[in-house]
């Protein structure tokens, strides 16, 4: 049985939709992922198999082919674990609801089925909205950051079981909305700070300036070199 699940990825800061096509059929047991996946995506089959099994579903000896369309664009990262797992469960008819063309999935799976946060979730959600995605399911750890984006329903899940339950109508997923103003006024406390760093006053000052101005900063070299570096000589990238 063939199923198609939507996901998102980035090329620079430009997003594009990935159709995760999963076909499960009778035949010699095998699992192939095609569509220009990188090594982390090729390894996802082991994470997905373990996560699905530890969530309570058996993957019997079947021929499984996963195609990531468009096939001529290089795919990177582990954020396709969740959509691959959902596509597999649709093909196995473990998820009974019909798939939605306006729903996307993004997330990395642990072997026990837990969802790990992924990088770049904010631009992914921004681009998903532009491309017509109405609902996106992501790891719960990414929910606060992604909820800033307006005009798209962002749902957070702790694990694969919660996503399956939601799609089968057995439970709901957490949804929240945070504005830029609320996020910027939140107070955070940390167990460590710059007081833990011995010396390097000039470097710490440079990092404070970069953080306050939301600049990018790249430090290259040994700590001794930076200790002798003047802040005025540190170059900032405002891009």
String of b and e for 53-79 (b: at least 16 CB within 10 Å)? ebbebebeebebbbbbeeeeeebebbb
* In-domain check, residue 186: no
Provide DSSP, 69-97: ESTTS-B-SSTTHHHHHHHHHHHTT---S
How far apart CA 1 and CA 15 sit, in angstroms, is 29
Are 138 and 42 within one domain?
A: yes
Are 148 and 226 within one domain?
A: no
Are 67 and 108 within one domain?
A: yes
Does 55 have pLDDT greater than 80?
yes
Are 203 and 167 within one domain?
A: no
Give the tens place of pLDDT for each residue, 163-174: 999 999 999 999
Q: How confident is the model at residue 32 (pLDDT cuts 50, 70, 90)?
A: very high
Are 57 and 142 within one domain?
A: yes
Of 130, 152, 138, 154, nearest to 15 by C-alpha is 130
Give the tens place of pLDDT for each residue, 186-231: 566 777 788 878 788 888 888 888 887 778 888 887 777 666 654 4
Q: Which residue has the higher pLDDT, 95 or 238?
A: 95
Are 61 and 20 within one domain?
A: yes
- Mean pLDDT, the chain, as a whole number? 87
* In-domain check, residue 184: no
Domain housing 67: 2-179
* In-domain check, residue 187: no
Q: How confident is the model at residue 232 (pLDDT cuts 50, 70, 90)?
A: very low
Q: Which residues contact 75 (CB under 8 A, 6 or more apart)?
A: 9, 18, 35, 36, 37, 38, 41, 68
Query: What is the total residue count of the chain?
Result: 239
Of 20, 18, 15, 21, nearest to 1 by C-alpha is 21
Are 172 and 200 within one domain?
A: no
* In-domain check, residue 185: no
* In-domain check, residue 189: no
Are 167 and 221 within one domain?
A: no
Q: What is the tally of structural domains in the chain?
A: 2
Give the tens place of pLDDT for each residue, 144-169: 889 989 999 999 999 999 999 999 99
Would you state the pLDDT for residue 236? 47
pTM over 0.95: no
* In-domain check, residue 166: yes
């Amino acid at each position: 049985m063939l199923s198609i699940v939507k996901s998102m990825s980035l090329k620079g800061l430009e997003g594009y939709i990935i159709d995760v096509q999963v076909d499960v059929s009778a035949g010699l047991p095998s699992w192939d992922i095609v569509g220009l996946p990188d090594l982390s995506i090729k390894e996802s089959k082991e994470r997905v198999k373990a996560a699905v099994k530890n969530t309570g579903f058996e993957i019997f000896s079947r021929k499984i082919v996963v195609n990531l369309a468009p096939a001529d664009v290089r795919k990177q990262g582990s954020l396709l674990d969740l959509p691959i797992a959902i596509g597999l469960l649709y093909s196995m008819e473990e998820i009974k609801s019909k798939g939605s063309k306006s729903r996307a999935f993004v997330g990395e799976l642990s072997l026990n089925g837990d969802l790990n946060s992924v990088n770049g979730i904010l631009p992914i959600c921004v681009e998903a909205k532009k491309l017509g995605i109405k609902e996106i399911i992501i790891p719960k750890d990414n929910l606060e950051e992604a909820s800033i984006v307006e005009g798209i329903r962002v749902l957070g899940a702790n694990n694969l079981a919660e996503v399956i339950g939601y799609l089968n109508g057995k439970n709901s997923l957490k949804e929240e909305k945070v504005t830029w103003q609320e996020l910027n006024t939140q107070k955070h406390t940390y167990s460590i700070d710059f007081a833990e760093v011995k010396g390097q006053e000039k470097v710490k000052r440079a990092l404070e300036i970069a953080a306050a101005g939301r600049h990018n900063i790249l430090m290259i070299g040994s700590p001794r070199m930076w200790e002798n570096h003047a802040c005025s000589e540190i170059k900032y990238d405002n891009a």
